[in-house]
Structure 1
Amino acid sequence: MSTNQLYAGYQSELVDFRLAFSRGGAYTAIVLVLLGVGLDYGQYPQQQFPFAVARVVVSMLIAGVVVVLYSAAGRRFAPWLTLTWLLLPQIMIAWMISQTEGVHSPYYVGLNLAIFASGIALPFGLWQNLVFGVLSYLLYVLACLFHPGGIEPLGTFIVNSLFLLFAAAASAVYTYFNERARFMLFRLKAEVAEKNAELEAINRKLVDIKGQMLQQEKMAAIGTLAAGLLHEVNNPVNFCLMAIEVAMEEPQAKESESLTECLVDAKQGMQRIQHIVSDLKTFAYRKPGAEVEGTPFMFEKALDSSIRLTAHELRGVKVTRELPADTLVLGDEAAIIGVLINLFSNAALAMRKAGTTAPAIHTTVRWAEGRLHVTVRDNGPGIAPEHLARVFEPFFTTREVGQGLGLGLSISYAVIERHGGQLFAESELGQWAAFSFDLPRAE
């Protein structure tokens, strides 16, 4: 945060701080002014009635200033309105001094009390506090001058004057250091808030990294498994295919239509096993050091692979597509297959769990502005609005315990982001859900 931003934020907070304190101080002043009736009764019972009237009038005037403090103008001019209601009791006290014993009047203490309060308790600025101290002293001088006895005895007047000026100076010093302390506290709060925001961002990144590491470990395990499967399965599958080819050439097979159909079905089954193992290897295995993010591949082929790999989950689901003639894109084919597998699996699971009638998944692919835009949409139960904004958060899942870690969509989001695109979700609860992303065209 720059110095200008910090100062602007401090000024904004200071306005609210001064406004709140001014209102609270005004209420306190009203109470103290009215409670002074007891002082009038104890010191000058003969002046009780006019002094009581004066106290009520001053209290009403302070209350009027409080009303203004709740307006828009009050927020703008809070410091000067505060000075106004502070001066009202000072004027009243000065009048009481002139009506009682002048230089010897005990009401002189009230002037000192208000000056100290302005510096210690109220969030005044330095110049405002100095103005208030000087005006309070001038009111005391006028009160003594208008008293019938004048400023006699002069020694007492000088001592009282010095105490008032000392109080004004001390109050100004308090104000200056209080202002600095408030600014330092605000700066500390701003720095703590900024550090907390940075820590939250770091924590979010750590969560993302943790999710990606878990997924990478799973992918490495699948890659090892796939390589082993390819080695262990391909040999017997090839042997079976050769045996089927030989059998299909036998005269008995050519003469029997039903036997030929059985052999053709067996051959297709073996070929499907080959496709599944090959797709699994393509999905899970990456060559060390290969720049897979920059490899051209046919998106249509990746789509076919993902559908074959999720065939067992898509049983009973009508899968349709709409593709352009050219789907050559640039990127990581294995990772994109993983994204599609995740989207198909999630859609199938959601529709099966909701008991969707005639479940269907439609994939729309189109070119726009040099990128291939892909949308996978199902007619399932949709996504609740409160979950829609969180579906890409790591470890967020609505599945039951043991049915998923909530990492699939967050990993998919990162994969598409690496390809310069964005994965986003749309839904209408109870009607449909759709996930869209885009990939760069291969030059």
Structure 2
Amino acid sequence: MGAAATTVRGSYARELSGFHLLQSRACAVTVIVLVLLGVVLDYAVYPDQMLRFALARVVTGLGVLAGLGLLYLPFGRRHVHAVTFVWLTFPQLMIAWMIHVTQGEASLFYAGIILTIFAVGTLFPVGYMYTLAFGMLTLLLYWLACVTRESGVRDHGQFLFHSTIILFAVAGSTVYTYYNERGRRQLFELKDELARKNEELESTNRNLADIKGQMLQQEKMAALGTLSAGLLHEVNNPVNFCMMAIDVAMEEPAAQASATLRECLADAKQGMQRVQYIVSDLKTFAYRNEETQDAAFLFERALDAAVRLVGHETKGIAIGRDIDGDMLVRGDEAAIIGVLINLLSNAALALRKEPNGAPRIVVGARPDGARVRVWVVDNGPGIPPEHLSRVFEPFFTTREVGQGLGLGLAICYSVVQRHGGLLSAESVPGQWTKFTFDLPRAGGER
């Protein structure tokens, strides 16, 4: 909570600094224009002083302009409050001097002092203490302008009245600045809270998308398990009968006398064996429980099952292996088979979509401490850089409409993450794509 509050205060301070810099620049331009336009008032009230007042206004305008230029430099941006306070005193010094050389407490220029005080509180509201300090400095300059005249203060009543009006202006401007500052802070806190709520909502939406993807995957696995359990009994029996019949037929004299017939029977037997392997692979999905989801298994056995199950998609594509001995890993074998199926299927789809010479997929595995690092690399068209950072996002897909939900890699990412690993992607467009993940070794380091 304390760290969050500190972050909010820091963000507010940065935003406020930028706001004050913008306001100070705008206020400086406004003051320069008003100071120069004041020659009209000089002509109307004190025409005999017009020339030297005009000169004073030009000098004051140049001083404010110098302060404005300083605000565009690094020093001015870092010390915006101090620079602004200095150039704001230039008009007050000018007005105080005009009061001093004209009628003192009877001079109409005291109204200009009040106008400047309100301008500081409204055009440049930097904080009530700042406004109060500026107001008291202005009151001091007014007193000095009146008291230091050669004739001194003549009308004490008028002097007290004008001083009181200036004090009222200081109080009103200070109170306004105080509540303006509070309102701005509350507005910023509301904006910050809204931004946090939006981030939480986005995070919740991402989590919901992940959960939806996982639920879809679980439903698919459950349906596959139910189907597999039924197939085990319905398919195994006729397959066994066919195998027995083929063995008997191969012993017949007619088969012994015909090479073509023996070859046909051998092909039929090989086909039946493939069916047996597929049914055996499906057992992994049919009989899953909590124990099998954290059991030791050979990685190559899982790879064999994945390769067989995507055989129809990888026809004509060479699948190489770079596996260092028997890799015994631990985890959910069915889920890891699912990851390998997805990666092999995606690679095969990319290779068929944009062939790049002789299509090839290589699956590798190497021990890495207590983990096993696995990679699947293909020599396909690669993934564009703008898509590479998004491949694991739920529902992101580059396939045509109706050919995929964009959940495969997102689910694979979650499965690997559940095993304490990380699934990552690398690619060089037009050359290759590589997916890498790691799994826990059974028994740790050996």
Please classify the TM superposition score into its range, dividing by the shorter chain length: over 0.9
Out of 24-33 and 168-177, give the one that drifted further: 168-177
**Structure-1 residue corresponding to 2:313:** 313
Contact 1:336 1:415 in 2 (8 A): yes
Displacement after TM superposition at 1:232 (Å)? 2.5
Match of 1:383 in 2: 383
1:361 aligned residue: 361
Q: Distance in 1 between matches of 2:106 and 2:368?
A: 92
Q: Which residue of 2 aligns with 1:133?
A: 135
Question: Once the 2 structures are TM-superposed, how far is the Cα of residue 325 of structure 1 from its aligned partner?
Answer: 1.9
Shift of 1:270: 0.8
AA at the equivalent of 1:398: T
Q: Is the 8 A contact 2:298 2:328 kept in 1?
A: yes
**In the alignment, which of 58, 61, 67 is matched to residue 59 of structure 1?**
61
Shift of residue 384 of structure 1? 0.5
Q: Contact 1:293 / 1:419 at 8 angstroms: preserved in 2?
A: no
Q: Distance in 2 between matches of 1:164 and 1:44?
A: 22
The aligned residue for residue 435 of structure 1 is 435
What corresponds to 2:212 in structure 1?
A: 210
Shift of 1:58: 0.4
Cα deviation, residue 101, structure 1:
2.3
Opposite residue 280 of structure 1, the aligned amino acid is L
Q: Match for residue 186 of structure 2?
A: 184
Residue 69 (structure 1) aligns with:
71
- Whether the aligned pair in 2 keeps the contact of 1:102 and 1:149 (CA below 8 Å) is no
Q: How far, CA to CA, are the matches of 2:263 and 2:8 in structure 1? A: 81
What SS class does the counterpart of residue 83 from structure 1 fall into? helix
CA contact (8 A) 1:41 1:48 kept: yes
- Name 2:286's counterpart in structure 1: 285
Q: Which runs of 5+ in 1 are unaligned?
A: none
Bigger shift: residues 46-55 or 118-127: 118-127
Alignment of 1:419-430 (within 5 A): 419-430=419-430
Query: SS where residue 203 of structure 1 aligns?
Result: helix
| Correspondence for 1:240 among 239, 242, 245 | 242
RMSD between aligned residues: 1.7
Q: Are 1:301 and 2:301 an aligned pair?
A: yes
Going from structure 1 to structure 2, the CA distance change for 1:111 and 1:286 (only over 3 Å counts) comes to farther
Contact 2:92 2:138 in 1 (8 A): yes
Counterpart code for 1:189: K
| The 10-residue stretch of structure 1 (374-383 or 222-231) with the greater mean CA deviation from structure 2 | 222-231
Matches within 5 A, 1:71-86: 71-86=73-88
Deviations 1:79-127 (A, max 9, x none): 1211111111111111111222222211110111111222233132333
Hey, what does 1:324 align to over in structure 2?
324
In the aligned structure 1, how far is the partner of 2:244 from the partner of 2:406? 44
The one-letter amino acid paired with 2:286 is: Y
> Which amino acid is 1:258 matched to?
T
What TM-score do you get using the length of structure 2 for normalisation? 0.95
Shifted more, 429-438 versus 17-26: the winner is 17-26
Are 1:272 and 2:274 matched, yes or no? yes
Query: For residues 244-265 of structure 1, what are the alpha-carbon distances to aligned partners after superposition, in whole Å with 9 as ceiling and x for unaligned?
Result: 1221222332343332222222
What aligned pairs does 1:225-264 form with structure 2 within 5 A after superposition?
225-264=227-266
Query: Alignment partner of 1:321: what SS?
Result: strand
What count of residue pairs does the alignment treat as equivalent? 441
Asked if 1:101 is matched to 2:99, the reply is no
Aligned residue for 1:2? 4
Quick one: distance in 2 between partners of 1:365 and 1:135? 78
Map of 2:22 onto structure 1: 20
Secondary structure of the structure 2 residue equivalent to 1:320: strand
Opposite residue 219 of structure 1, the aligned amino acid is M
Deviation string 1:47-88 (CA, Å, 9 cap, x unpaired) is 221111111110010000111111121122211211111111
Amino acid at match of 1:183: R
Measured after TM superposition, the shift of residue 382 of structure 1 is: 0.6
Q: Contact (CA 8 Å) 1:207, 1:394: kept in 2 or not?
A: yes
Aligned to 2:198, what secondary structure does the other structure show?
Answer: helix
The percentage of counterpart residues that share the same residue type is: 58
Partners of 1:278 and 1:159 lie apart in 2 by 104
Q: How much has 1:342 moved relative to structure 2?
A: 0.7
1:4 is displaced (CA, Å) by 2.7
C-alpha distance in 2 between matches for 1:40 and 1:320: 94
Q: Distance in 2 between matches of 1:383 and 1:286?
A: 37
Partner of 2:116: 114
Taking the aligned partners of 1:12 and 1:105, their CA distance within structure 2 comes to 43
Structure 1 residue 149 displacement after superposition: 4.5
1:145 aligns with 2:147: yes
* Alpha carbons 1:102, 1:151 under 8 Å: kept: yes
Please state whether the residue corresponding to 1:326 is helix, strand or coil: coil
Q: Quote the Cα distance in structure 2 between the aligned partners of 1:394 and 1:7.
A: 35
Query: Structure 2 CA distance, aligned partners of 1:278 and 1:45?
Result: 109
Aligned-partner residue type, residue 292 of structure 1: T
CA distance in 1, matches of 2:259, 2:7: 86
**Secondary structure in structure 2 of the residue aligned to 1:2:** helix
1:197 and 2:191 correspond: no
- The 8 Å contact of residues 19 and 75 in structure 1, kept in 2 or not, is answered as yes
Shift, 1:286, TM fit: 4.5
Q: What do the CA deviations read for 1:6-57 (whole angstroms, capped 9, x no partner)?
A: 3233222222221111111111100111111111122222222111111111
| AA at the equivalent of 1:94 | A
> Contact (CA 8 Å) 2:250, 2:256: kept in 1 or not?
yes
